Structure 1
Amino acid sequence: MKKNLLFTGLVGIALLISAQHSFAQEDEGSDTLARKIDLEPTLGKKDYDDRGKVIKYPRVFGGLTFTRIDWGFSRLMDDGSFTLGEENQFLKYKKASNFGFDVAQFGVRFNDAFKMYVSAGFEWNYLRLKNDIILNTDATPLAYSPSDITYKKNIFTSTYLRTPLSFEWRGGRNHHGHRPKIAFGAMTGILLKGTQRFKSEEQGKQKFRDNYNLASFQYGVFARVGFGSLGVFTKYYMNDMFENSPNQENLNNFTFGLTLGF
């Protein structure tokens, strides 16, 4: 309950600020879309003040934000292969996706081209399972039971508090004021919850929550490449997706997709 309240509160604050304000980005040449998305109240000054005076570097920035909105696809990797091994066939999926965003950040801009920052946000991974199975709650190692019901939806979700450390470079502006950007770094995450949701004609909608032996702490690497406020991302989670489950050793998650507010 406390975790849910924390999640609801942080997202509520971000959305409330989003509805009431539109903060400028780090320089006044940023594009309109980025201004609508990036709610970055900085602790330092902008690159240029209201009279066009250039400020000095380095400068510190931070605060609440609503940016780096990731939406893409996920692929499970079993011992380095995208084909699941025999012991993990029960996790076969029709579709897998990844969604996340940042709500806070703090960092240092060293010059006009380079900055480093740590941020915090939330991330969800969704597996739309093919098989009609029910993952057993409070079972260690991970276990499941076949179901006699044919499910229209059988979605397994993990929710993490993510905390990436980013190194970002940006190039010069084009005639529209947009810049190319490259970011890379390391990411960590703390498990908030696991969820399995069902939809069937016999029992309607059902939802069960448990940690399902999901990794309580995840870590990996990521990269983003973009232009203006739109980009693409890829992430590789180096930790095992499940813990205390020998049959799921070396089962990792790989994601890729689009980033908005980059």
Structure 2
Amino acid sequence: MNTITKYVVLLTLCLIATGMSAQETQKDSIAYRENGLKIDRLTELKKTIQEEEREFLKAEVEMINERLEKGLITKSQAEKLKKEAAKKRALNIENRIAIIDNKIALLERNDAEYNDGNSESVMIGVSLGKFSGFSFSKNKPKKYDKRTTSDLVFAVGFNNAIGEGQKIGDEYTFMQSGFLELGWAWKTRVFKDNNAVRLKYGFSFQWNKLTPKDDRYFVQDGNTTTLQTFPSELTESEFRITNLVFPLHFEFGPSKKIERKNYFRYSTYKHFKIGIGGYAGFNIGTQQKLRFKEDGDRVKEKIRRSYNATPFVYGLSAYVGYGSIGIYAKYDLSPMFKDQTFDQHNLSMGFRFDLD
């Protein structure tokens, strides 16, 4: 190795060492700043804890006063409960702040990579400058009487369309025509002191699919929509109407009252229920899908147009269930197509799941 090569290698090693040193210094600086930010957030969190526990105490006192006004407890019992609540919240503040102080002491004594063995985060949110983020607490006191709850609604089953003098399956295949419904519902107890009657309401997307028989498909000619025979053999003929509806049901059935120290709830788990009502909404899409062979080639067509589908839809619906599962039926009082000489109405039957 000649002299020039030695100098080049030596210079390269020096540059690498300098770069590594600079990276370590930068890393230490970042770690120091991260520790400082964590300490700032924890300091702000101490203030949030005090405010949060005071708000919890205020809510508990309001619930106690509400029970006193309803005659569920005596004045002396109310005073005792208030003192217990105040003592509990004072101890909560003391204990939670002690935990924060210990975390701050650990951060001040160690570097940012120190692991205290606790993987839970004390703060969830975003930080920007001096803004310390949002904190979320899981120990928020329960509302004493919660009359409204919400749940996901899912329904699936068979769909068909009938008109005057027609039976199910006359025009459309029974097994290949179906419906799907997905929505969100709120359930409110009607009476103050019992849960025998509930009002269930919300919004749902309904997909109603029809499969015409005998190689027929829908044809729109101006303001008229008719079923006609396709020029060649169809391997698939599917007509789908998509609606956004707002159901409303009166739900009847027994329930179990669950009473706790600071709240009570009604549960319909493992109980029978009956829902009777209806829905109204709007058509938001109509599509026809056809599959056939043309000159030996397989052809698939998806046609999206109005097909004169009724823009405003409404109907009747009902369900009978046990717990979260039920049998469901719905019938469109509005015709499938507007301004037709012969009206047809969607009829659906299947299963309903109220995932509350």
Aligned to 1:201: 293
Q: Are 2:220 and 2:308, in contact at CA under 8 Å, matched by a contact in 1?
A: no
Aligned to 2:325: 230
What TM-score do you get using the length of structure 1 for normalisation?
Answer: 0.66
User: Are 1:243 and 2:338 matched, yes or no?
Assistant: yes
CA spacing shift, 1:177–1:79, aligned 2, 3 Å: closer
Q: Deviations over 1:156-200 (max 9, x none)?
A: 111100111111123135xx9522111111211210111110122
> What letter corresponds to residue 142 of structure 1 in structure 2?
T
2:345 pairs with 238, 252, 256, which one? 252
CA spacing shift, 1:199–1:109, aligned 2, 3 Å: same
Q: How does 1:52-131 map to 2 (within 5 A)?
A: 55-56=144-145, 59-61=147-149, 65-67=151-153, 69-79=154-164, 81-82=166-167, 91-93=171-173, 95-103=176-184, 105-110=185-190, 111-131=194-214
* Identical counterparts, % of pairs: 24
User: 2: CA distance between counterparts of 1:81 and 1:136?
Assistant: 20
Shift of 1:154: 0.4
CA spacing shift, 1:166–1:80, aligned 2, 3 Å: farther
User: 1: CA distance between counterparts of 2:173 and 2:222?
Assistant: 21
User: 2: CA distance between counterparts of 1:163 and 1:227?
Assistant: 23
Where do 5+ consecutive residues of structure 2 fail to align? 1-138, 257-267
User: 2: CA distance between counterparts of 1:245 and 1:60?
Assistant: 42
Q: Are 1:75 and 1:82, in contact at CA under 8 Å, matched by a contact in 2?
A: no
User: 2: CA distance between counterparts of 1:147 and 1:97?
Assistant: 22
Where do 4+ consecutive residues of structure 1 move more than 6 Å? none
Q: Are 2:160 and 2:172, in contact at CA under 8 Å, matched by a contact in 1?
A: no
- Flag the structure with more relative contact order, 1 or 2, with Cα contacts below 8 A and sequence separation at least 6: 1
Where do 5+ consecutive residues of structure 1 fail to align? 1-48
Which deviates the most, 154-163 or 237-246?
237-246
User: 2: CA distance between counterparts of 1:108 and 1:252?
Assistant: 31
Query: How many pairs are equivalent?
Result: 200
Q: Are 2:195 and 2:255, in contact at CA under 8 Å, matched by a contact in 1?
A: no
What TM-score do you get using the length of structure 2 for normalisation?
Answer: 0.50
User: 1: CA distance between counterparts of 2:143 and 2:219?
Assistant: 60
Select the structure that is richer in strand. 1
> What letter corresponds to residue 254 of structure 2 in structure 1?
G
User: 2: CA distance between counterparts of 1:139 and 1:119?
Assistant: 35
User: 2: CA distance between counterparts of 1:240 and 1:147?
Assistant: 24
RMSD (Å), alpha carbons: 3.0
Task: Report SS of the residue matched to 1:201.
Answer: strand
User: Are 1:155 and 2:238 matched, yes or no?
Assistant: yes
Aligned to 2:122: none
Aligned to 2:310: 215
> What letter corresponds to residue 56 of structure 1 in structure 2?
D
Task: Report SS of the residue matched to 2:234.
Answer: coil
Task: Report SS of the residue matched to 1:129.
Answer: coil
Q: Which has the larger radius of gyration?
A: 2
Q: Are 1:139 and 1:212, in contact at CA under 8 Å, matched by a contact in 2?
A: no
User: 1: CA distance between counterparts of 2:163 and 2:172?
Assistant: 11
> What letter corresponds to residue 168 of structure 1 in structure 2?
E
Q: Are 1:221 and 1:237, in contact at CA under 8 Å, matched by a contact in 2?
A: yes
User: Are 1:185 and 2:265 matched, yes or no?
Assistant: no
Task: Report SS of the residue matched to 2:224.
Answer: coil
